[in-house]
Structure 1
């Protein structure tokens, strides 16, 4: 029976290891999506940034206010579009900045401040990998040890509970 438990423990450890290395891989794929969206948003904003540089010392908010206050309906409508693009680029820049930090901070940031659209894209198009870099191996070993410890605790609690039940039944007999 002990050998079966040890094999199960090894299987749980292997599952934990393979699951753990997915964490930095997922973060990496999410970060690449943020980067791609940021590049696209900056490209969409580039012409407006040039206009803001030329006429408003680079202040995008002044450019947007100018468009909002224009008597031309088309410019007023464009103000909303420029504001949307500017807001998206700003939010993506904050995401990108936070995802270029330490390993644990990146994981925490992604877990708490993710962009729902980009997260869904990442989940939908995620490709499982087994990266062999120190960060992935560290995550893998930590998760594997956690899984193994939880497995041992569950086995210990189950054995204790069964032992107590067995002794209670023996006392009644």
Structure 2
């Protein structure tokens, strides 16, 4: 009886954890999109200047600012370059998140940008989404967790008993 309740408890925990995956992916995607739009907006004026004087080459604009003897221009070159690097990072994240669901899921769960992951987790509020993909994730994680933990416990019990089976006593029935 205890095993049945443990199995149910593990399944429920896995179900609730699995339901969180699509919400987490959505929050991460929205965070990347917001930062990307912000960085694009920050570059807009510099892109216009680069378009006017350097055929749209932002790196040429940065080199021009760096070659100046004016410390203000040198400081601006650092600012532009940091915005440009940040924008490129967000563009890469966005391209990954526009890919197939498996690549997107793997990226968010395993190899996300650490700063964005921390921001997302800090602002994440647990939710129960009743959409097909959340239900599928929940059922899959619940089943997998219950199966793995129960199998591990059974393996440990088998090892503790020295690999022996219990003798079955024959019943008079």
- Common topology (TM > 0.5): yes
Equivalent residues of 1:70, 1:76 under 8 A apart? yes
Structure 2 regions of 5+ residues with no counterpart?
166-173
What TM-score, normalized by structure 2, do the two folds share? 0.85
After TM superposition, give the deviation of residue 162 of structure 1 in Å. 5.0
2:10 counterpart residue number: 12
Residues 112 and 53 (structure 1), Cα distance of their counterparts in 2 relative to 1, 3 Å cut: farther
Residues 151 and 73 (structure 1), Cα distance of their counterparts in 2 relative to 1, 3 Å cut: closer
Q: Which has the higher helix share?
A: 1
The yes-or-no answer on 1:62 pairing with 2:60 is: yes
| Root-mean-square deviation over aligned CA pairs | 2.0
Aligned residues: 165
1:145 counterpart residue number: 143
After TM superposition, give the deviation of residue 73 of structure 1 in Å. 2.4
Task: Render the CA deviation track for 1:34-56: whole Å, top value 9, x for unaligned.
Answer: 11111111111111011111222
The yes-or-no answer on 1:156 pairing with 2:125 is: no
Task: Render the CA deviation track for 1:70-92: whole Å, top value 9, x for unaligned.
Answer: 23321122111100001101101
What is the distance in 1 between the residues matched to 2:159 and 2:71? Answer: 75
Structure 1 regions of 5+ residues with no counterpart?
168-173
1:28 counterpart residue number: 26
SS of alignment partner, residue 21 of structure 1: helix
SS of alignment partner, residue 42 of structure 2: helix
2:78 counterpart residue number: 80
Equivalent residues of 1:103, 1:135 under 8 A apart? no
Residues 115 and 153 (structure 1), Cα distance of their counterparts in 2 relative to 1, 3 Å cut: same
What is the distance in 2 between the residues matched to 1:137 and 1:113? Answer: 24
Residues 53 and 112 (structure 1), Cα distance of their counterparts in 2 relative to 1, 3 Å cut: farther
